[in-house]
Structure 1
Amino acid sequence: MLTIKRFIISIFHITTISLIFLPSLRSVSAEPYGMAGCGLGSMVPVWKNDIGQILAATTNGSFSSQTFGITSGTSNCTTDGLVKREIAQEVFIAYNEEPLELETSVGKGERIRAVASLLGCPKHAVELGKLMKENHSFLFAKSNSSLETRSKEILTRLKTQIATDTNLSLVCNN
């Protein structure tokens, strides 16, 4: 069981390690990040795996960098306090690709409703589900892409199909 002293020491160690990486952050461009969200932790390029996401979340919490980033529009955060929309869409698709593909074959489900919300048209989830079902093989065509690239491909294909639909193109703010 961790004592308060051990907890403080571990926070100190993580903070020290984070400060070592701080000078190199200026040359790092904003990239898609994982579940830890925006903030200083999202700017460290080696923290993209699961353990890294824990370190990123700890760094964001330790420095309050996520709060600062959200209010200032820095560290991969937007000025309105929301994660950049397209990155959020890509991350969602990356982490939910298989179940989303299953729901798309049926044309309905909670992930399709979530995608509709992320695309700015939550009230049109049923229509989006029908569109996704009709274009299932196109949207989820297999490729040799990496996880990050694959989610971007699926999102691009979906947005292309939305743009060709007369009603969804007007209501979705993708």
Structure 2
Amino acid sequence: MAGCGLGSMVTVWKNDIGQVLAATTNVSFSSQTFGITSGTSNCTTDGIVRADRAQEVFITYNEEPLELETARGTGERIRAIASLLGCPTHSVELGKLMKEKHSFIFDKTQGVDSYSRSKVILSRLKSKIAEDFDLKKACLY
């Protein structure tokens, strides 16, 4: 992925070609360097993409397979999102929660683009984590 910077802000650049365009944009405008220095454009001052942005991007790129794994309650994407949420050792518990709350988390919203939809999914997931006694303490989301 192109990382943080101005190119990462263009939500329609989801495919491989888009990532090349995003990286080119970052280099052309030095936006990644500026973003890292200033902590803007989805960057932190240490050059790492903000956690919430990384979570949204992950869901955007993995929505369908994540939804399928959630219906089963297990899978590599559930382990990955657990790691992104700061609770990699609780992926089994997160998988159970996601399976139990699948219809709420992945409820289809009409007229919402994939980027906004990933924000909705992430928000719903975090709200269910906040209601779970163990996950609320384990995850750093």
| Shorter-chain TM-score above 0.5 | yes
Match among 117, 124, 137 for residue 170 of structure 1: 137
Q: Percent identity?
A: 70
Task: Tell me the CA shift for residue 61 of structure 1.
Answer: 4.4
- Indicate the SS of the match to 2:56: helix
Match among 23, 46, 57 for residue 57 of structure 1: 23
Alpha-carbon distance in structure 2 between the residues aligned to 1:74 and 1:147: 23
- Indicate the SS of the match to 1:173: coil
Alpha-carbon distance in structure 1 between the residues aligned to 2:43 and 2:53: 10
CA separation of 1:57/1:102 partners in 2, compared to 1, >3 Å: closer, same or farther? same
Matched, 1:39 2:5: yes
Per the normalisation by structure 2, the TM-score is 0.85
CA RMSD of aligned residues (A): 2.1
Q: Is the 8 Å Cα contact of residues 4 and 48 (structure 2) preserved in structure 1?
A: no
Task: Tell me the CA shift for residue 54 of structure 1.
Answer: 1.7
Matched, 1:86 2:55: no
Unmatched tracts of structure 1, length 5 or more: 1-34
Write out aligned runs for 1:95-114 (5 A). 95-114=61-80
Per the normalisation by structure 1, the TM-score is 0.70
Write out aligned runs for 1:4-153 (5 A). 35-42=1-8, 48-49=12-13, 50=15, 51-61=17-27, 65-66=31-32, 69-70=35-36, 72-144=38-110, 145-153=112-120
CA separation of 1:140/1:83 partners in 2, compared to 1, >3 Å: closer, same or farther? same
Unmatched tracts of structure 2, length 5 or more: none
Alpha-carbon distance in structure 1 between the residues aligned to 2:7 and 2:131: 38
Q: Which of structures 1 and 2 has the bigger CA Rg? A: 1
Question: Which residue of structure 2 lines up, in the alignment, with residue 30 of structure 1?
Answer: none
Match among 106, 122, 133 for residue 155 of structure 1: 122
Alpha-carbon distance in structure 2 between the residues aligned to 1:42 and 1:142: 25
